[in-house]
Structure 1
Amino acid sequence: MKKIINWQIAGFAFTAIIGTAFHFLFDLTNESIVAALVSPVNESIWEHIKLLFFPMLVYALFEYSFWGKEYARFWCIKLKGILTGMALIPTLYYTYTGIIGESLDWFNIVIFFGVAGLVYLVETKMFLGNKTCRIPSEYAFVILCISGIVFFVFTFYPPEIPFFQDPVSKTYGF
């Protein structure tokens, strides 16, 4: 039990640090195509979900190699956690900006850290609980991989809808 809690706390720290670093990665690498795959290329909500998705996925791969194989539900739990975070970020963003009529950078940062913390807490409770997952672990892992590919594709070929639009430059994608 304590092992899982410690790993999840470390996962939150990893996600917070790497997610924050990824926010600046694209600019720091002179707009590298490789950096564009895992870090935001603009200020759209879609691109900022990468800040949670990729650090969580990388950390989950790391976790799996050390202890995740012991849990048949590992990838199912990780899928539920990551998808929950991916849904919460835009939900909270659009809710508060709809209420107050503007986007606040400091509150967007609070949302990122709050969602990351909440997701790791929920995952921890799922790991410590005895409920079964309905999605086989292999399928859950494939869904996460496909999600990563979708991020790659939509970085370069995003649908031209507001979710993918940079609110500052009014452009889409890379």
Structure 2
Amino acid sequence: MIQALFLLLIASAMHFIYDFIPYDIIGLIVPIDESIFQHIKLIFYPILFYYLYIKRWNTIVIVQLVSIVSMLFIYYFYRYALNIESVPIDILLVGLIFVIMQYIDTLALQHNWITSSKITILFIMISIFLLGYLTIYPPNLPMFIEGNPIK
């Protein structure tokens, strides 16, 4: 649980870095606008940094995938199905995702849902590339548009 709080603090700090240091290279790692896509970086990079810190890679693929998909499903459900727009709920969602991350990590270790080093490195490289590329060249889809693109 303490890891989830620490990751939430990192994600919260990351949310505002671009406002203070508006360089393109920084924007590849932190959100540059309020689109839901940009907020995926608030999940992906703190989890990546956490796994770098603990030096254990074998569950990061399942953890990243479940965390990001969970964030998208929960966000779109409360934002558009329930028509709730709330910054405190958004922050709680990020914290909840980090709690889910820890639970999935524990399950993955218990059930041996691990990936090889090659697959893990490939996943991380492709993910970093896609996050950067889609930051520079965002498609005209609701997930990449700032504000309330779904009316």
1:56 to 47, 54, 69: 47
1:38 to 19, 29, 32: 29
2:62 to 80, 91, 105: 80
Alpha-carbon shift at residue 91 of structure 1 (Å): 0.7
Partner of 1:164: 144
Structure 2 contact 8–98 (Cα < 8 Å) conserved: yes
Is 1:150–2:130 an aligned residue pair?
yes
Alpha-carbon shift at residue 83 of structure 1 (Å): 1.1
Distance 2:83 2:111 in 1: 43
Report how many residues are paired. Answer: 149
Structure 1 contact 52–86 (Cα < 8 Å) conserved: yes
One-letter code of the match for 1:56?
Answer: I
CA shift in 2, pair 1:46/1:114, >3 Å:
same
Task: Name structure 2 gaps, 5 residues minimum.
Answer: none
CA shift in 2, pair 1:100/1:124, >3 Å:
same
Using the aligned pairs only, state the percent identity. 23
Structure 1 contact 79–141 (Cα < 8 Å) conserved: no
Structure 1 contact 14–59 (Cα < 8 Å) conserved: no
Distance 1:48 1:123 in 2: 21
Alpha-carbon shift at residue 15 of structure 1 (Å): 1.7
Alpha-carbon shift at residue 165 of structure 1 (Å): 0.4
Alpha-carbon shift at residue 16 of structure 1 (Å): 1.2
Task: Name structure 1 gaps, 5 residues minimum.
Answer: 1-8, 69-73
Moved more, 44-53 or 103-112: 103-112
Distance 2:134 2:82 in 1: 29
Structure 2 contact 30–41 (Cα < 8 Å) conserved: yes
Residues 17-28 of structure 1 aligned to structure 2 (within 5 Å): 17-28=9-20
2:74 to 84, 92, 97: 92
Normalised to the residue count of structure 2, the TM-score between the two structures is 0.89
Distance 1:114 1:102 in 2: 17
Higher alpha-carbon Rg: 1
Aligned residues: CA RMSD:
1.8
Partner of 1:114: 96
Normalised to the residue count of structure 1, the TM-score between the two structures is 0.78
Alpha-carbon shift at residue 17 of structure 1 (Å): 1.4
Structure 2 contact 29–41 (Cα < 8 Å) conserved: yes
Structure 2 contact 11–43 (Cα < 8 Å) conserved: yes
Distance 1:84 1:37 in 2: 22
